[in-house]
Structure 1
């Protein structure tokens, strides 16, 4: 290969590397190894065999995040506030399959939704079917601050005294969601499914995200509504280090 072409290729590689470091998360992204399995009830054969399907993540460089993800997934298996927390995903699987009836199923998943500014946004999903017309799905977020080595709650994200202002913006985002889905044309919809607060809040790259469970602000058929609050609206409300590009 001519020297000029070699130099061009080398320069291109340097530029690509430099550009990649400027993308959300840069090159210093947290690596995760996927761990997935599905097991049927021992000794069962046929289409109605109960099953447990788990699709989670392992973080070699952040062992405390491993424990956090597992705990949050296990919390999604609790069907009442006072239900005991299973000791592990494996013990949950064993107990569920031991008592499961034909057709029952349980799905648990953790995935990285996005990374930026030393933040890792993990989305958690669950689906439990134990009979009836349909199963019960669940959703959740983990906002993991790699600098602090801890998950963030809303109080950690906001400037002091700005919680009321944040929820006012969330109500406005709810109105935009209603309009975008043409639900504001039904006068009874907002009365039946009024705005609610949620604990599932994510620091996305394009906007702050609010994820809702089924039967919260929409019927089951509406799935998991997601509201977006653009970052320019959050000036003076969100801590500066949590704006994309400032972390």
Structure 2
């Protein structure tokens, strides 16, 4: 091949690469994220135990649809089963208007990790309305950058494999009982059996299942996490969602 032909081939390759970079975003490069955080106390309060609202959220300039998903999920925590507030600001104003001393509300969204075109966001909440202790909450968002949508469990699983997935999760629960030695306490095993959870994350190291307090363990044990290594989910999780295969 002559030098002229080699030069032409190189130019074409560079041009093709440039086109791909323009029309196909680089999924290995983390999505840009901006943090927005604030804490406000009840207007006019100067005591040491003023009611407060603390909000720590995220914005994604390249995919603002994700901003709306995050805000809605945080507002679902805030609503606690009641009517959904129209915005985080509206929730703050409403909470502080009626809150009593020592009442507080915390809402947080953070990026747990990004890999293979996925953004894994962990949501946290803590509401203290004067009881013996506050009420904490947790949730995950598995955001597909390519599809620009939240992945549900059905999106993650090979069709027909949901039962197998939960059986594998139950095995992970048995492993957790053994690792914590709670398997040696018959009352614990009886009172805190395995349950399903909606909080599932496709993290790089494993599929993570997180449980709200009082779900599979007492409040004092916090938010239990079960981890299932990907090799145990061959044929269960869609192959393109395995790290490194997308």
Q: Same fold (TM over 0.5)?
A: yes
Q: Distance in 2 between matches of 1:212 and 1:168?
A: 16
Q: CA deviation at 1:26?
A: 7.1
Distance 2:162 2:220 in 1: 31
Q: Match of 2:65?
A: 64
1:133 counterpart residue number: 132
Cα distance, 1:207 vs structure 2: 0.4
Ranges in structure 1 where 5+ consecutive residues have no aligned partner: 1-24
State the Cα deviation string for residues 218-245 of structure 1 (Å, max 9, x = none): 0000100000011001111110110000
C-alpha contact 2:213 2:219 (8 A) present in aligned 1: yes
Summarize deviations over 1:1-47 as a string: whole Å, max 9, x none: xxxxxxxxxxxxxxxxxxxxxxxx97511111110000000000121
Partner of 1:17: none
Q: Which residue in 2 is equivalent to 1:216?
A: 215
Counterpart CA distance in 1 for 2:121 and 2:73 is 11
Q: Distance in 2 between matches of 1:40 and 1:99?
A: 12
Matches within 5 A, 1:1-247: 27-80=28-81, 83-247=82-246
The Cα shift of 1:78 comes to: 2.1
**In the aligned structure 1, how far is the partner of 2:110 from the partner of 2:80?**
23
Alpha-carbon deviations, 1:182-216, whole Å to 9, x = none? Answer: 11110111110000000000001010000000000
Corresponding residue number in structure 1 for 2:10: none
Deviation at 1:79, TM superposition (A): 2.3
Q: Distance in 2 between matches of 1:179 and 1:166?
A: 20
Moved over 4 A (4+): none
Q: Could you give the per-residue CA deviations for residues 121-143 of structure 1, whole angstroms, max 9, x where no partner exists?
A: 00000000001110000000000
Per-residue Cα deviation, 1:95-137 (whole angstroms, up to 9, x for no partner) = 0000000110000000000111000000000000001110000
Query: Which stretch of structure 1 is more off in the superposition, 191-200 or 71-80?
Result: 71-80
Q: TM-score, normalised by structure 2?
A: 0.88
Instruction: Please give the secondary structure, in 2, of the residue aligned with 1:76.
Output: helix
CA separation in 2, counterparts of 1:169 and 1:27? 30
Root-mean-square deviation (Å) = 1.0
Gaps of 5+ in 2: 1-25
Kindly indicate whether the alpha-carbon contact (under 8 Å) linking 2:28 and 2:117 is maintained by their aligned counterparts in 1. no
